[in-house]
Amino acid sequence: MLQARLVCTGCPVRVACREWATATGQYGIWGGTTREQRIAHRHAATIPAPEPVRPAVAA
């Protein structure tokens, strides 16, 4: 699998390839990533960032 991912190194369409594979649920190595990596990245992108905690200010 590492050899397949190395083929993607320096490819001018790597990002577009990865985005297409993520959007369409492709199996295998696309854009230098595995299907599991793309799923994890997509999942992380859908989790909203927590609201910042503001300290209480005494009046």
pLDDT tens series, the chain, 59 aa: 777 788 898 899 999 999 999 999 999 999 999 999 999 987 776 667 677 787 777 76
What's the CA gap between 33 and 36, in Å, rounded?
8
What's the CA gap between 10 and 30, in Å, rounded?
13
pTM comes to 0.66
| Owner of token pair 């190395």 | 6
Give residue 3's pLDDT. Answer: 79
Give residue 41's pLDDT. Answer: 84
Give residue 19's pLDDT. Answer: 93
Query: 44-48 contacts: CB < 8 A, separation 24 or more?
Result: none
Instruction: Give yes or no for a contact between 29 and 2, defined as CB atoms under 8 angstroms apart.
Output: no
